[in-house]
């Protein structure tokens, strides 16, 4: 199991779709003679000489070695066709019903064609898409040539924001009407973002000409990769074919050897989207960019011109963002649930190589008071499960790893000095200041995984001995990872803090702690990636294929479902946007036979009491109320699927939403005894009101700021880097502080409740 890839989200290169999407746009009926063409029309693509052999190799690997034993039959053919059409035209904006009717003759024959290495059906469909995409861009350019003042923004009409479940368009007139509405949506979005009307037409014309140019640069390799990924997606979403260029990008990503911003990218509709952030990379450290954010433009240096990358190929966007360490790249970023027309956030990042030391676990101590009694809770923040394999193989006794670092941190927390102790005193003469913490919180939020070996070893620091995870292969064989040293680094009260971005190896650790009843799991439902991939070289490119699933010692899979916390927090990440359950054809949750392991004292009798105390505490906490209100606001906005194209209505809706946000903020501030903001502008300049945000002790309450950071993430505001970093730390502290409170509840209840062993 040497080549296991324990990454949380399949890296970036999810089916390379060149299709137009969501709010790309389109016009009020073209007049005859308005057609506009550029030189160099599309040339139909055909398979390269190597493609048939590669297709046969992919088919053989899938049939023989994928975790799902799926026959190559008519059902697979049908699913492959559906995946292919969805990848090309996810928003049903290009193909007509007559196109789909013509493609139906391939529904149950693609399997036979693939066995022969026949790729003609795939290229026929791709070329039809290319033609429709070219027609759309030429139509949009023709409308722009007439002037945007010919568009009627007083007319009451709407644009469906998500057409993925809608029927394909009935005829050319219906398609042109959709394109017209999309163009109106794009123009209106720019108007609402305060772009000058005289600049809107040229900006969109440049964008569409750029897309047309890139469309005409599409290669047969692009079509082949897309088709192979439609085939592999019929098995599961983490199995992917990588072309030679894509393979190079993937290998660089996995080795972290690239000097860049430290972000894993993927394509969703027309946008390059953040799939995940590399811990300690420039993007993660900036605190200004989050998973699911969309990149709309890229600029080089401090004053380079922004290049609009909406609709670009993923590898071309990656090439723009990459660069030597020490150089600057600027991005225009849109949050996933920002209002249509909201201006993008502009952020500046200095490229650098990610160092293993910067991903190291860190610790701190939090003081929690209960009346006259004070508790000291140690916090260990683990950004990823890392290990320096090279140093280990060379026999370096000081090789770096998650487990070694955490063990050292536990030893330090067991001898943490009181703040009032004299820092200059001789430690040997100041033993009274050296006391163990009362409990430990392991913070795995945003930890996307890493080394399986380290997940196993880290679990062993908290249990005496026993299995930690089960790995089931496609053949049904189950292998166990075990902790066998009999050593425990910490046997005291323990909590594990997780969220939706805790994945893979994080889920192994959290699941084991929960199954052993060794500690409390607190936070949000985890990502749910319970599959294992291996890389298989091919004659051309490589295949990343799912070959195993991992299971908890209780026999439950983390696949799809993730780990359900014992005590749940409000979820600041939309489960409909992020997580294994959002991926098409994700493997199901299931169970296998549990392995033998020794559980700790039964926590079940305490969970209801802990939940009651938690709910009682946060019910009256204005900061948690604010967080919940902002989550509800985000859900309401995400649920909208009709975008008004009437300017007055759009402006009214935006004003209503801004008023709601201001009201939510001022409700919190009023409950805290803080002065209310008079306007949204005042709210957005938080740095100018820093003094007002301090409580009577001169320090802002730890839970106060969770919602402020969430609000910025939802609305796409652009506080300066220092302010953004402060707010991100505050968001983390807000939920962390409550985790420490819950652990103190557990401490006090454990002293009075009799815990029974199973």
Active site residues: 504, 515, 529
Instruction: Please check whether residue 156 is in contact with residue 184, taking contact to mean a CB–CB distance below 8 angstroms.
Output: no
Measured distance CA(648)–CA(660) in Å, rounded: 18
| Secondary structure (H, E, C), 429-490 | HCHHHEECCCEEEEECCCCCCECHHHHHHHHHCCCCCEEEEEEEECCCCEEEEEECCCCCCC
Helix, coil or strand: residue 343: coil
DSSP state of 280: T
Q: Would you put residue 147 in left (φ > 0), alpha (ψ -120 to 50) or beta?
A: left
Residue 61: partners with Cβ closer than 8 Å, 6 or more residues away: 536, 538, 543, 545
Residue pair 254/11 in contact by the 8 Å Cβ criterion: yes
Helix, strand, or coil (residue 494): strand
Give Cα 415 distance to the centre of its chain: 37
Within 10 angstroms of residue 580's Cβ, the number of other Cβ atoms is 24
322 touches 258 (CB < 8 A)? yes
User: 405-411: which pairs have CB atoms within 8 A and are 24 or more residues apart?
Assistant: 405/360, 405/361, 406/361, 406/380, 406/382, 406/442, 406/458, 406/461, 406/489, 407/461, 407/489, 409/361, 409/362, 409/363, 409/378, 409/380, 410/378, 410/380, 410/440, 410/461, 410/489, 410/490, 411/489
Among 454, 440, 452, residue whose Cα is nearest residue 403: 454
d(CA 289, CA 277): 9
Based on its alpha-carbon atoms, the radius of gyration of the chain, rounded to whole angstroms, reads 27
Q: Which two tokens mark 242? A: 């990588």
- Spacing of C-alpha 479 from chain mean position: 30
First-residue to last-residue Cα distance in the chain: 34
- In sequence order, the 6+-apart residues with CB closer than 8 A to the CB of 191 are 153, 197, 200, 341, 647
Tokens representing 561 are: 């479902």
Q: CA-CA-CA-CA torsion for 251, 252, 256, 260, nearest 10 degrees? A: -150
Cα-flanking dihedrals φ and ψ of residue 432, to 5°?
A: -65, -25
Tally of CB atoms within 10 A around 754: 7
SS (H, E, C) 152-188: CCCCCCEEECCCCCCCCECCHHHHHHHHHHHHHHHHH
- Whole-number Å distance between alpha carbons of 730 and 735: 9
């Amino acid at each position: 199991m040497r080549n296991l890839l324990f990454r949380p989200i399949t890296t970036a290169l999810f089916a390379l779709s060149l299709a137009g999407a969501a709010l790309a746009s389109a016009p009020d009926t073209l007049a005859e003679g308005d057609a506009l063409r550029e030189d160099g029309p599309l040339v139909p693509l055909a398979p390269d000489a190597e493609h048939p052999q590669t297709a046969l190799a992919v088919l053989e690997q899938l049939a023989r070695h994928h975790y799902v034993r799926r026959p190559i039959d008519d059902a697979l053919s049908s699913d492959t066709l559906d995946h292919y059409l969805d990848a090309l035209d996810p928003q049903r904006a290009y193909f007509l019903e007559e196109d789909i009717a013509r493609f139906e003759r391939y529904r149950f024959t693609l399997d036979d064609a693939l066995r022969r290495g026949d790729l003609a059906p795939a290229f026929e469909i791709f070329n039809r898409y290319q033609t429709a995409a070219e027609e759309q861009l030429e139509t949009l350019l023709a409308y722009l040539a007439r002037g945007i003042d010919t568009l009627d923004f007083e007319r009451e009409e709407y644009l469906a924001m998500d057409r993925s479940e809608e029927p394909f368009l009935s005829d050319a007139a219906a398609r042109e009407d959709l394109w017209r509405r999309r163009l109106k949506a794009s123009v209106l979005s720019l108007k609402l973002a305060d772009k000058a009307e005289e600049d809107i037409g040229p900006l969109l014309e440049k964008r569409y000409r750029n897309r047309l140019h890139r469309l005409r640069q599409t290669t047969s390799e692009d079509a082949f990769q897309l088709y192979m990924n439609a085939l592999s997606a019929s098995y599961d979403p983490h199995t992917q074919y990588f072309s030679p260029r894509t393979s190079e990008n993937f290998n660089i990503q996995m080795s972290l050897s690239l000097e860049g911003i430290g972000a894993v990218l993927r394509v969703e509709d027309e946008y390059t989207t953040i799939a995940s952030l590399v811990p300690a990379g420039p993007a993660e450290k900036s605190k200004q960019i989050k998973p699911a954010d969309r990149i709309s433009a890229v600029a080089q240096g401090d004053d380079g011109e922004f290049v609009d990358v909406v609709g670009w190929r993923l590898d071309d966007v990656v090439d723009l963002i990459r660069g030597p360490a020490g150089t600057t790249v600027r991005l225009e970023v849109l949050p996933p649930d920002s209002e249509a027309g909201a201006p993008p956030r502009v952020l500046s990042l200095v490229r650098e190589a990610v160092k293993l030391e910067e991903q190291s676990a860190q610790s701190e101590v939090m003081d929690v008071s209960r009346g006259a009694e004070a508790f000291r809770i140690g916090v260990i923040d683990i950004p990823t499960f890392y290990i320096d394999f090279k140093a280990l193989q060379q026999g370096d006794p000081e090789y770096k790893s998650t487990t070694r670092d955490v063990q050292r941190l536990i030893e330090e927390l067991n001898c943490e000095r009181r703040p009032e102790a004299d820092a200059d005193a001789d430690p040997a003469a100041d033993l009274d200041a050296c006391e163990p913490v009362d409990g430990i919180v392991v913070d795995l939020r945003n930890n996307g995984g890493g080394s399986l070996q380290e997940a196993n070893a880290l679990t062993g620091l908290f249990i005496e001995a026993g299995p930690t995870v089960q790995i089931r292969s496609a053949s049904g064989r189950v292998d166990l990872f075990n902790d066998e040293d009999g050593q425990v680094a910490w046997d005291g009260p323990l909590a594990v803090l997780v969220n939706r971005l805790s994945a893979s190896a994080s889920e192994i650790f959290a699941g084991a702690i929960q199954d052993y009843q060794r500690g409390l799991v607190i936070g949000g439902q985890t990502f749910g990636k319970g599959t294992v991939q291996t890389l298989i070289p091919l004659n051309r490119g490589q295949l990343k294929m799912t070959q195993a699933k991992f299971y908890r010692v209780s026999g439950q899979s983390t696949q799809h479902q993730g780990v359900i916390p014992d005590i749940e927090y409000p979820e600041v990440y939309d489960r409909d946007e992020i997580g294994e359950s959002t991926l098409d054809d994700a493997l199901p949750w299931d169970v296998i036979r549990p392995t033998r392991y020794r559980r700790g004292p039964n926590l079940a009798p305490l969970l209801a009491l802990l939940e009651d105390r938690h709910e009682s505490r946060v019910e009256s906490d204005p900061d948690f109320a604010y967080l919940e209100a902002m989550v509800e606001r985000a859900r309401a906005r995400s649920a909208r699927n009709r975008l008004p194209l009437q300017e007055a209505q759009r402006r009214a809706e935006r004003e209503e939403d801004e008023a709601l946000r201001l009201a939510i903020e001022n409700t919190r501030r009023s409950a805290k005894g803080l002065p209310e903001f008079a306007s949204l502008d005042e709210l957005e300049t938080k740095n100018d009101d820093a003094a007002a945000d301090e409580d009577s002790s001169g320090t802002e309450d730890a839970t106060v700021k969770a919602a402020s950071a969430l609000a910025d993430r939802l609305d796409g505001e652009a506080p300066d880097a220092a302010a953004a970093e402060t707010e991100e730390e505050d968001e983390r502290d807000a939920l962390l502080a409550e985790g420490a409170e819950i652990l103190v509840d557990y401490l006090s209840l454990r002293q009075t409740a009799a815990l029974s062993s199973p």
